[in-house]
Structure formats: C-alpha cells, structure tokens
A = this chain, B = another copy of it.
Amino acid sequence: MIITIKGNADQKQINNLLSWVDSMGLKTNLSVGEHSTIIGLVGDTTKVDIDLIRSLEIVEDVKRIQEPFKKANRKFHPEDTIVDVAGHKFGGGFFPVIAGPCSVESYDQVLYIAKEVKKSGATILRGGAFKPRTSPYAFQGLGEEGLDILVNVKKETGMPIVTELMSEDKIPLFKDVDIIQIGARNMQNFDLLKAVGRTDKPIVLKRGLSATMEEWLMSAEYVMSEGNSQVILCERGIRTYEHYTRNTLDLSAIPLLHEKTHLPIIVDPSHASGISRLVKPMSLAAVGSGCDGLMIEVHNDPPRALSDGAQSLRPDQFDDVMTVVKKLLPMVDKKLS
C-alpha cells in the first residue's frame, strides 16, 4: 500500500500515522519528495482500511499494491483449482457444459430437455426453482416443487444439477443439489456468501451486474474464508451504457482472471445479450477466450417459457452450438468433461 502525504503536512501528524501503521505490525518505507511524501507499507495489508487512511487530513491519496484477496489469489496458490462434480471437472483443461431451462416448469419439460442436452454433450443440468425477478408481479419460480422436479430428473438421467439459492433459510432444501448457484444480484449478499461457505457443495458464483473483478474475487474470498474452496466463477455480462444488448459479456475478464486466481471460470452467454441469436457466436467466442466451461439455457419451446424465453435455445439449436464447440476445444487445449 502506498500513501501519498500532502506537501504541507505536519510532521507530528505524519509520525502519528507511522506509529499507527506500526501498531498493525506493518513496516513502512518513507520517500520524501518536493511536493509530497510517499509512505510504502510492507507486510500483509489485507486488513488495512484504505478508506480510513484516505480520510486523514494529511493524506492526498492511497493506492493498494497488493491484491486484497488471499485464498483466491493465484500468487499464493499457483496451481489451478479443479472442482469435481460427480466426475465432471471444472478447471485444469477440463470443460463441462451446463445446460437446461431457465425456469423449471414441469417434470416432463425438464426431463425432455435434460435428455436432449445430454445427447448433445452437456453433462450437468441447470434449472431455476427460485427465480429472482425485477418485478414482484412476475413469475417467481416453482420453489420447492421445482427442486423436487430437478432431483427426480437427476435420478432418471444421472446428470448432476445446479440451481440458484436466494436465501440462507432454504439451504436445507438443497441437500440433493450438486452445485449451488449464487446469482448476480446476490453477489454481495455477504450473509448468504458466508452461509454457503459453510456448506460442502461447489458454488457457482455469478458476477454482479456491475461488479469489478476485484469485488467478485472478494466475494469468492467470503465463501472461501468460511472453509469452502470449491468456487466456480461465472461471467454473465456486465452493465454498460449500451442498450442494444441487455448486458455486455466481458470476455477479456477470462484470461485476466486466469492470471489473478486459480479458480475455474465459466461463461453464461445466454443472459448477457438477452437475445437467443447471439448465444452461438458468444459461446464460440467464450471458448476462444479460454474459459473453463459454459452454462447455456435450453428450452423445448422458447416462446412459451415463463421467464427469459428470449435467451433460450431450442435443443436443435443447442446441438448446433455444441457441434462447433467440440471442434474448437482441442485448438485451445481443452476437453469436454
């Protein structure tokens, strides 16, 4: 951490700051210039409150040099984390594809889609039982009944399941769920992050609507700091000023995050654009960017879907995407899992 002190600062105040820093067990490194003095903090600065330092009258600016995340940091864990879900691996060159309907509507619907996507190469089934909706008047998901449907389809097809959790008190209902998804709107619901950090299930952590990569990794850190290190990051588009697409899929985040963290990173191309015609090109682009898997919405009959129909593919369209994905994977040194 680098603290820039104003040129007119009082020496006594500087000394106070130095002893305060010292009291936290950090070493300092002073460099006096003409218009400002610079203090470098050496040691573990993750607990230092950068805003507090910035508040001091004598401080002009503070910049963090060390990343504030530790358990998620590749610097301290150089090897890829591989998350294994019933034999399907995320990370380390493995590339699973998660597919399924946005919302669970009926057993027949989910079973039909599960069988179709499995034929095309998907290995994990997704489906929403609890749905976060912007409007209180929109369909909120089948809830517990939806979970039962997913579990029954899992039994029938052998596909592990992933579904979204929206509040801590529902965790007991998720005992047969294989991967818990934390949605974008809850990425900084810290109580929920801590709660899933105390489970032993892999977590798909979606990026918040306007979360920086650093905030996203700090949310992963919340889960990991409670003991659960099986976090799979999921890029799903960020909010920008553009309005032709619903969100802007940030694929440059993929190679950059691979440098910053050892956690696997998958891409959900369905939500980013909000337009099903864009799912295929964005899936191929995601493979090119080096991601560790895809999560794609598939629906038997998109127009009748109760939510997010616009972004769902039909099974035949999904099969078409998978055909090209399978050809591309070897060229980026990845294999389906």
Contacts from A to B (Cβ < 8 Å) = 2, 4, 7, 29, 31, 33, 35-36, 38, 40, 42, 46-47, 49, 51-56, 61, 63, 65-66, 68, 75-76, 132-140, 166-169, 185-186, 188-192, 194, 209-210, 212-215, 218, 221-222, 225-226, 237-245, 248-256, 259-260, 272-278, 281-290, 302-303, 305-312, 324, 327-328, 331-332
Contact of A225 among B56, B137, B328, B331 (CB under 8 A): B137
Residues of chain B contacted by A49 (CB below 8 angstroms): 138-139, 306-307, 309
Residues of chain B contacted by A332 (CB below 8 angstroms): 284, 324
A290 CA / B212 CA spacing, docked (Å): 27
Q: Is the CB of B328 within 8 A of A324?
A: no
A68 CA / B332 CA spacing, docked (Å): 41
Q: Is the CB of A274 within 8 A of B212?
A: no
A244 CA / B69 CA spacing, docked (Å): 14
Number of copies: 4
Contact of A312 among B29, B35, B55, B214 (CB under 8 A): B55
Residues of chain B contacted by A286 (CB below 8 angstroms): 285, 288
Q: Is the CB of A189 within 8 A of B190?
A: no
A301 to chain B, nearest CB (A): 11
A29 CA / B140 CA spacing, docked (Å): 30
CB-CB nearest 7 A-B residue pairs: A55-B310, A284-B288, A210-B210, A285-B288, A185-B188, A288-B288, A285-B289
Q: Is the CB of A68 within 8 A of B2?
A: no
A267 to chain B, nearest CB (A): 10
Q: Is the CB of B225 within 8 A of A213?
A: no
Residues of chain B contacted by A308 (CB below 8 angstroms): 51-52
Q: Is the CB of B245 within 8 A of A248?
A: no
Q: Is the CB of A305 within 8 A of B136?
A: no
A213 to chain B, nearest CB (A): 5
**Which residue on B lies nearest to A249, using beta carbons?**
B252
A260 to chain B, nearest CB (A): 8
**Which residue on B lies nearest to A170, using beta carbons?**
B191
A214 to chain B, nearest CB (A): 7
A164 to chain B, nearest CB (A): 12
A314 to chain B, nearest CB (A): 11
Q: Is the CB of A36 within 8 A of B55?
A: no
Residues of chain B contacted by A253 (CB below 8 angstroms): 242, 244-245
Cβ contacts A to B, 18 pairs, < 8 Å: A2-B40, A4-B65, A35-B75, A49-B309, A51-B307, A51-B309, A52-B305, A53-B310, A55-B310, A56-B303, A136-B226, A140-B190, A167-B191, A244-B253, A245-B256, A254-B281, A255-B282, A256-B273
